[in-house]
Amino acid sequence: MPTRAWLRRGLLVALLLLALVRPGVSGGTAQAATSDLNVFFVVDTTTSMVAEDHGSGTPRMDGVRRDIMAIAAELPGARFSVLTFDTKGHVRMPLTTDTLALETITSVLEPQVTAYAKGSSISAARQVLAERLAAARDSHPQRPRLVFYLGDGEQTSSAAPEPLGMGNGLVSGGAVLGYGTPAGGRMKENTGVASDGGDRESRYVQDMEGRDAVSVIDEGRLREIASQLQVPYVHRAAGDPAAPMLQQARPGTMESAANDASLPGRTELYWVLAAGAFALALVEFGVVIRRVRALQPAKAPEPETSAQSRRGGRSAKAREDAR
């Protein structure tokens, strides 16, 4: 029995190690134009991104979420990263091919809490973007790096924005995507807690005169960012398809690769090994539970009742008289 237990544990460890290697078999195809791409989404999460002028009174952030997933669908096999910025830049998701993780991160994108907003710069993500692009180039220099900047161009910081030009060939392609309208839209406050009902009008951001503040798109600044990144600028409206925009955003090296047939695909098998390890782990868990139960102290014998005590006493007296 001990030998069998150790064999089971050894097999569990072996399965885990093999799963980490991520074995697979050849099969299917992957488009050469997308399988070697590193894609960085740089998302404006300032308060203005909830201005309700995208489509039929919906927040700009709704359009951002839809476009991110639409771009991901057009670039199967690519590696995606999500960076956001308000008063400073943040890494929300490092590079990964896991589109489910991308969908999860994208679905929970929200602007900063309104009470903490102190004025934002359209270039607040410059440093974190440069660091991530450099790291991607150093680890896989052969992979093109696409940057999609999604925002409205509104600069509320008193300091002039830093240029977003990366230099050193860090950006291979991408696009600056603009959201909003010249007429602008009102913005709901983000209190940092779930909605508790009540008057919805009272939760709009107010200006200095106590009226509903209005945010408008600044396409001039967005075109300036596009020029610095050396990528096209594209205004996005509700319902705009992603494919035509991607034709402009795709770098020349990827356009030539798109003319190639395809690259051999690969079917991952690590999940089979992980499932086997999980089954063995459940067996080990059951063994541990049984052993813990075996270590529990036995119940103490119940005390004799008074009737049993009296019978025992008479029996003892009878034996004494017999002597």
- Which CATH number goes with the domain that contains 230? 3.40.50.410
Is there a contact between 72 and 78 (Cβ–Cβ < 8 Å)? yes
Same domain, 39 and 90: yes
Same domain, 253 and 276: no
Q: Is 105 exposed, middle or buried (0-12, 13-18, 19+ CB in 10 A)?
A: buried
Return the pLDDT at 118.
73
Same domain, 73 and 200: yes
Rounded Cα gap, residues 314 and 319, in angstroms: 9
Instruction: Kindly give the pairing relationship between strand 233-235 and strand 173-178.
Output: parallel
Q: The domain containing residue 317 runs over which residues?
A: 2-23+269-321
Return the pLDDT at 259.
45
pTM: 0.68
CA distances from 253 to 17, 122, 172, 257, 307 (A): 37, 29, 9, 6, 98
Same domain, 262 and 278: no
What token pair was written down for 83? 């960076």
Same domain, 262 and 275: no
> If we measure between CA atoms, which residue out of 263, 232, 268, 224 comes closest to residue 250?
232
Tens digit of each residue's pLDDT, the chain (323 residues): 578 888 888 888 888 888 777 676 655 544 545 678 999 999 999 999 999 999 888 999 999 999 999 999 999 999 999 999 998 999 999 999 999 999 999 999 998 888 777 778 999 999 999 999 999 999 999 999 999 999 999 998 888 888 998 888 899 999 999 999 999 999 999 887 655 444 444 589 998 888 999 999 999 999 999 999 999 999 999 999 998 888 877 654 454 444 444 444 456 667 788 888 888 888 887 778 877 777 866 555 656 555 555 555 555 555 555 55
Same domain, 83 and 206: yes
Residue with tokens 């070697």: 36
Same domain, 208 and 169: yes
Same domain, 14 and 79: no
Same domain, 188 and 284: no
Which residue among 249, 267, 285 closes a domain? Answer: 267
Same domain, 101 and 122: yes
Same domain, 307 and 294: yes
Q: Is 31 exposed, middle or buried (0-12, 13-18, 19+ CB in 10 A)?
A: buried
Same domain, 236 and 138: yes
Domain count, the chain: 2
